[in-house]
Amino acid sequence: MHRRQFLAAASLPLLLAALPARAASDLLRIRDLYNKDLSFSPYAKAHEGRTVAVRGYMAPPLKAQAKFFVLTSRPMAVCPFCESEAEWPDDILVVYTDDIIDVVPFNVPIEVEGGLELGTYTDTQIGFVSRVRITSGSFEKM
């Protein structure tokens, strides 16, 4: 089903005008950024620095008024920083936003759009280490 039709059928009051004309199945999944050995995929390398759209779920944010969140492949009910790193799947994606995020429940699928950044980066404010990020991200419920 075309994404516009899907949204219309679901009667969700979203910003349809801002949506890219793309079938839902064309959306990138987090796993598309990795090879099975967790090295970056050819797609990820080819799109480094470019704008990509990824589907996933917003993990519960660390704090209110945050300008970042963790995108997960499947719903994760726990806050990423409240548990050891070992509790977390390897295929998560940190999303940095320009504005304070509107929190979406952890089990509502979202589409994130932003710049793809690869390479290890330590967030100086929260100490979170990420291997891959979305910068200037925006997101919508699917």
Partner 1 sequence: MKLFIAALVAGATAASACAQAQDALPQAGSEWFKLGQDTLAANLAKKPNTRRARNIILFTADGQGVGTNYAVRLFSGQQKGLLGSEYVQPQEAFPHLALVKTYTTNGQTPDSAPTAGAMNTGVKQKNGMINIDPSVDHGDCAGVTGHELKTFAEIVSGEGRSVGVISTARLTHATPAGVYAKTANRNWEDDSKLPEGCTAQKDIAAQLFDQVKAGVIDIALGGGRRHFIPKDAKGEEGKSGKRTDGRNIIKEIQDLGGQYAWNEDTFKALDLDSDKPVIGLFEASHMKYETDRTGEPSLAEMTAAAIKKLSKNGNGFFLDIEAGRVDHANHDGNGYRMMTDGKAFADAIALADELTDDADTLIIVTADHEHSIAFNGYCGRGSPVNGLCYDVDGKGVKHAAEPLKGDDGKPYTVVGYLNGVGSVLKKQDDGTYSGSRPDVTEAQAEDKDYVQQALIPLSSETHSGEDVAIYAKGPWSQLFDGTVEQNYIFHVMNYAAHNGE
Stretch that binds partner 1, among 14-22, 43-51, 81-89, 131-139 (CB under 8 A): 81-89
- Take residue 14 and report the two structure tokens written for it: 């979203």
Q: Is the distance from CB of 73 to CB of 29 less than 8 angstroms?
A: yes
Least distance CB 136 / partner 1 (angstroms): 25
Binding to partner 1 by residue 86, rule CB under 8 A?
A: yes
Among 16, 46, 78, 126, binds partner 1 (CB under 8 A): 78
Least distance CB 137 / partner 1 (angstroms): 20
Least distance CB 78 / partner 1 (angstroms): 8
Binding to partner 1 by residue 84, rule CB under 8 A?
A: yes
- Per-residue H/E/C for the chain: CCHHHHHHHHCCCCCHHHCCCCCHHHCEEHHHHECCCCCECHHHHHCCCCEEEEEEEECCCCCCCCCEEEEECCCCCCCCCCCCHHHCCCCCEEEEECCCCCCCCCCCEEEEEEEEEEEEEECCCCCCEEEEEEEEEEEEEC
Least distance CB 25 / partner 1 (angstroms): 6
Among 26, 45, 46, 107, binds partner 1 (CB under 8 A): 107
Least distance CB 142 / partner 1 (angstroms): 9
Binding to partner 1 by residue 82, rule CB under 8 A?
A: no
Q: How many CA atoms lie within 13 A of 13 on its CB side?
A: 0
Q: Is the distance from CB of 105 to CB of 69 less than 8 angstroms?
A: no
Stretch that binds partner 1, among 13-21, 44-52, 84-92, 114-122 (CB under 8 A): 84-92
Write out the residues near partner 1 by the rule CB under 8 A: 1, 6, 9-10, 24-25, 29, 31, 36-38, 73-75, 77-78, 84-87, 105-108
